[in-house]
Chain A
Amino acid sequence: MELKRRCGRGDLPCARPEGMRLVEEPGDHSIPKDSPLRRVLPGVFIANLQQLLNWGRKNSLWYMTFGIACCAIEMMATGASRWDLDRFGSFFRASPRQADFMFISGTINEKMAEAVKLLYDQMAEPKWVLAMGACACTGGPFAGSYNVVDGVDKIIPVDVYVPGCPPRPEALLDGLLRLQKLVAREGLEFVPRGGAAAAGEEGGARS
């Protein structure tokens, strides 16, 4: 019973690092019986460094303070206390240098496209992009218009698409969790880069 309590956090699916194995007692014979590790079992994870790095990254995805149109209002609501992106380790950074990803929250017109590209270029690797709302995904109601870019993925690579006009904060949170799944798999398996997942579609991550 005592052991259960000590490994309580390890039982939570979101706290367990992706791809890491919790060393269980009994039945796990990967650690010798006389190893000092046994004294702290089962609070031990076995992982490689990439998994550990991804685990840290996915739980501290800082996003850029960058609102473009009406979707930005919904993004701010998602960041504020009612939905609270901070509980997933995400919060606003006011500089692209310190940001890990950006929400594209609104219609991209031809004039704004240059600014979006510049900001994306200023972000440090690794970086991700979440297209929020119909306009950022495809141009939305303005698709084909003389001054609107038909989807921000014509300008910069996009990892997760969240459709909606605007998407509910719950949908945006789902998009963030899917982005976390992508980040957790980074460098661990063959992922066809540039593939993308739409939030709300079962199966999620890059396909």
Chain B
Amino acid sequence: MSGMTDRRLSAARALRDHLARAAPYAETDVRPDGEVVVRVPPDKAVAAAEALAGFRPHPLNYLSCASGVDRPDDDQIEVVYTVHSLPGPAKASLRVRVDRKTERPSLPSLVQVWPAADYHEREIYDLLGVWFEGHPDLRRILLAETFQGHPLRKDFVQNRPPRRRVTREDYQP
């Protein structure tokens, strides 16, 4: 086993112990590669993020990715925040699930903890339709403002009318 994985694993164990104290509600799981998977209910997401960011000596202060996963079998959408520590080898993924059957699935925004979550949460809102409460500027980011629906949901049905080829005669400026 390489030295890097050793260091990451010992950091992961320290992080797991830290979370057992700082966030006892969290369900933690250490992966063989040293990633700590942290599952929390939506109302505890901000507290768990702060516990991760407050880990010493390796604060998880770098949000490298936030992604959304549609899980229609569980009727849930899972949002995964992948965070790294810039000073050390610690790595974690914070996972929060929300019921997808409601009209407006909402989760607390983590922008206040990791500012980089801004664009990521906008993208998840745009493509999967998760409203992030407390987000400073929750707008569509990739699709047009006029777009209807959230296309990366598994049950998304495209209702765009078919278009005809435009010729010079029927072109409308």
Once the chains bind, are B151 and A146 in contact (CB under 8 Å)? yes
Asked if B4 lies at the interface with its beta carbon under 8 angstroms from chain A, I say no
- Closest residue of chain B to A159 (Cβ to Cβ) is B168
A110 surroundings in chain B (CB, below 8 A): 143-144, 147
Give the distance in Å from the alpha carbon of A157 to the alpha carbon of B170 in the complex. 9
Comparing A38-46, A73-81, A148-156, the segment that makes contact with chain B is A148-156
Asked if A193 lies at the interface with its beta carbon under 8 angstroms from chain B, I say yes
A155 surroundings in chain B (CB, below 8 A): 166
Q: Please report the total number of B residues contacting A with Cβ < 8 Å.
A: 17
Since A193-B168, A194-B169 are in contact, a sample of 13 more A-B pairs with Cβ atoms closer than 8 Å, ordered by chain A residue number, is A111-B143, A114-B144, A146-B156, A147-B142, A149-B163, A150-B163, A151-B165, A154-B165, A154-B166, A156-B166, A156-B171, A157-B168, A193-B169
Once the chains bind, are B158 and A146 in contact (CB under 8 Å)? yes
Asked if A121 lies at the interface with its beta carbon under 8 angstroms from chain B, I say yes
- Decide yes or no: A154 and B158 within 8 Å by CB, A193-B169, A194-B169 being known contacts: no
A151 surroundings in chain B (CB, below 8 A): 165
Instruction: State the B residues within 8 Å of A (CB).
Output: 142-144, 147, 151, 156, 158, 160, 163-169, 171, 173
- Closest residue of chain B to A120 (Cβ to Cβ) is B173
**What are 24 A-B interface contacts by the 8 Å CB criterion?**
A111-B142, A111-B143, A114-B144, A121-B173, A146-B151, A146-B158, A146-B160, A147-B142, A147-B151, A149-B163, A150-B163, A151-B165, A153-B165, A154-B163, A154-B164, A154-B165, A154-B166, A155-B166, A156-B171, A157-B168, A157-B171, A193-B168, A193-B169, A194-B167
B158 surroundings in chain A (CB, below 8 A): 146
- Closest residue of chain B to A195 (Cβ to Cβ) is B167
CB distance from B123 to the nearest CB of A (A): 13
A121 surroundings in chain B (CB, below 8 A): 173
Provide the A137-149 mask, 1 if CB < 8 A to any CB of B, else 0.
0000000001101
Once the chains bind, are A193 and B165 in contact (CB under 8 Å)? no
A111 surroundings in chain B (CB, below 8 A): 142-144
CB distance from A159 to the nearest CB of B (A): 9
Once the chains bind, are B143 and A153 in contact (CB under 8 Å)? no
A157 surroundings in chain B (CB, below 8 A): 166-168, 171
